[in-house]
Amino acid sequence: MNTIIYLDNASTTPTDKRVIKKMLPFFSENFANPATKWTSSLSKLVDEEVEQARLNIAKLLGADPDEIFFTSGGTESDNTALKGIAFKHHDRGNEIISIPIEHEAVLKSLETLEGFGFKIKFARVDSKGFVDPEEIKRLITKKTILVSIMHANNEIGTIEPIEEIGKICRERDIYFHTDAVQTVGHIPINVKSFNVDLLSLSAHKFYGPKGVGAIYVRKGVKVKPFMDGGGQEKGIRSGTLNTTGIIGLGEAARLASEEMEQTESDVKKMRDLLWDKIQKQIPKVYLNGAEIDSRLSNNLNIIIKGIRNEPLLVALNERGVIAGGGSACAAGSKYPSHVLKSIGVKDNDIFGALRITIGKFNKIEYVDYVVQSLNEIVNSLRDLSPFWEGE
Amino acid sequence: MYPKIIIEHFMHPKNVGRLENPSNIGTYETLSKAKAVFYFLIEDDIVKDIKYQVAGCPYAIAVGSILSEYAKGKRIFELAKINKKFLEKYFPVDEDKEECINLPLRAFLNGLSKI
């Protein structure tokens, strides 16, 4: 098969051609810097498109446009939220609450903040990856200034009880950040009903370009800027705007608003069919994380007993199927997935985890080919494995 | 991505499995639970038959295949000299993959010494 079947959409998605079309004129036809909109008609035109992009994102999140600030992506948004709140409001307290299955952008930022004297408290997650809002409540003290809980996990797709946590934080006047990189453009979000103060998103996770994202900062919430410079984005994010990227992000957001429901249902159908066939054809395969219906519709994270995921991924790649491992894995890998570890998956099994994430450009008719390839590869790897004792 | 010879051996590994009555078994396991096992049938200091199993990365699987192919019919004192340099004749040994290569190599050498 010459076609590439890309099933690693949680890692990144292909940019929608309609998004690229929208971006193209702003590279060389209208390349102006929107900062000079008062004196240049060219800039004014770019500025209008940038503001339209802001509006599109605001609509997608149920926010006001002046609460949206453009960044270089999810990592920068997470850094801005955590460090921005911590350094601005350290006089109110020094405790931050999070969970151990956050993305590295959050975990490493917290590690840095720990070095500055902040106290980081982690709430436990259960074997499905869910955090209990009651535990967040228990961890909160008078010194707590920020709670950061991801909307959905990037490896296992568990959707956290954000609304309840948001409510708890709002009642106690504690800032609440959510990393929604995996959910924006995929499932409905409303920052107002979620009681979110800060939210991170990234364009390339929902068919926009790489290198651009945004942070929602609720009106009235002050953050210390991450970068010093010309004061763009109301001082929250200095630096000439990535106009083409932002316009692409805006278009991706517009398309998501219109098409999300249909995409979600198509993706779920393919994911469910895939899981159904895998279970029927391959013995000793188990789901990691939440039940199939209470996780992101695009996500399948499975343990395949007796084998390691790296040879599996390479062999799938040889057959034109690209999937994810959920962990960097070599024979001598020292980095098993922190997410799977946190939900109690055994080391031996972590190294056999396979993450398949469906996207809107995947075709459901490829499911049979994927399952057949997977089945054949798993069989030969099991023959090779000293850990495999048969069914 | 991997060198061509690694992909070839990885996709079509030779001598996979266990021997019914091995005279020697060599194993090695890493902290991250990757494991390699070699089964030897050695008679008069000559490797008459060999099979192996690896739960590890494509490098480990391919190196196991290369070693098993090379070892058949060879004298064990010759095989005991095999090291990383020997493997470099087959493919460039990337620093990142050294541990993956070590895994089957150590299991292989462990099997030779248990006589």
Residues of chain B with pLDDT below 50 are none
- CB count within 10 Å of CB A345 equals 24
* Residue A50 near residue A33 (C-beta atoms within 8 A): no
Whole-number pLDDT of residue A215: 98
pLDDT of the residue at A336: 73
Total-model pTM: 0.93
Contacts of A28 (CB under 8 A, 6+ apart): none
Parent domain of B93: 4-113
In this prediction, residue A330 carries a pLDDT of: 40
pLDDT of residue B114: 60
Give the closest-approach CA distance of B11 to chain A in angstroms: 7
Phi and psi at residue A237, in whole multiples of 5°? Answer: -145, 90
pLDDT at res. A335: 62
ipTM of the complex: 0.88
- Catalytic residue ranges of A: 329
CATH number of the domain that residue B74 is part of: 3.90.1010.10
To 10 degrees, the CA torsion angle through A126, A132, A135, A140? 130
Q: Which residues in chain B have their CB less than 8 angstroms from residue A348's CB?
A: 33
Residue contact A311–B99, C-beta within 8 A? no
CB atoms within 10 A of CB A337: 24
Chain A nearest-CA distance from B14, in A, is 10
On whether the CB atoms of residues A98 and A124 are closer than 8 A, the answer is no
The first and second tokens of residue A318, run together, are 């040889």
- The number of folded domains in chain B is 1
DSSP state of A14: P
Asked whether the beta carbons of residue B55 and residue A332 sit closer than 8 angstroms, the reply is no
pLDDT of A332 reads: 43
> What size, in residues, is chain B?
115
- Residues across chain A: 391
**Residue ranges with strand state E in A212-359:** 213-217, 285-287, 299-304, 321-322, 353-357
pLDDT of residue A326: 53
Give dist(CA A46, CA A32) in Å, integer: 7
CB interface of B with A, residues 59-78, below 8 Å: 59-61
Cβ separation A386–B58 shorter than 8 A: no
What distance in Å separates residue B99's CA from the closest CA in chain A? 5
Q: How far apart are CA A223 and CA A84, in angstroms?
A: 4
Query: What whole-number distance in Å separates Cα of residue A368 and Cα of residue A332?
Result: 33
Show the low-confidence residues of chain A (pLDDT under 70).
1-2, 326-335, 391
- Chain A hits for B14, CB-CB cut-off 8 Å, are none
Side-by-side strand order, sheet with A299-304: A285-287, A299-304, A353-357
Give me the domains of chain A, ranges plus CATH numbers: 5-11+260-384 (3.90.1150.10), 17-256 (3.40.640.10)
CB contact (8 A) between residue B7 and residue A318:
yes
CB-CB under 8 Å, A315 with B32: no
Give the pLDDT score at A328. Answer: 45
Report CA-CA distances (Å) from A102 to A105, A179, A260, B8. Answer: 8, 8, 25, 38
B46 and chain A in contact, CB less than 8 A: no
Min Cα separation A289/chain B (Å): 22
CB pair distance less than 8 Å for A383 and B10: no
Interface probe for A, chosen from B11, B18, B33 (most Cβ of A below 10 Å), is B33
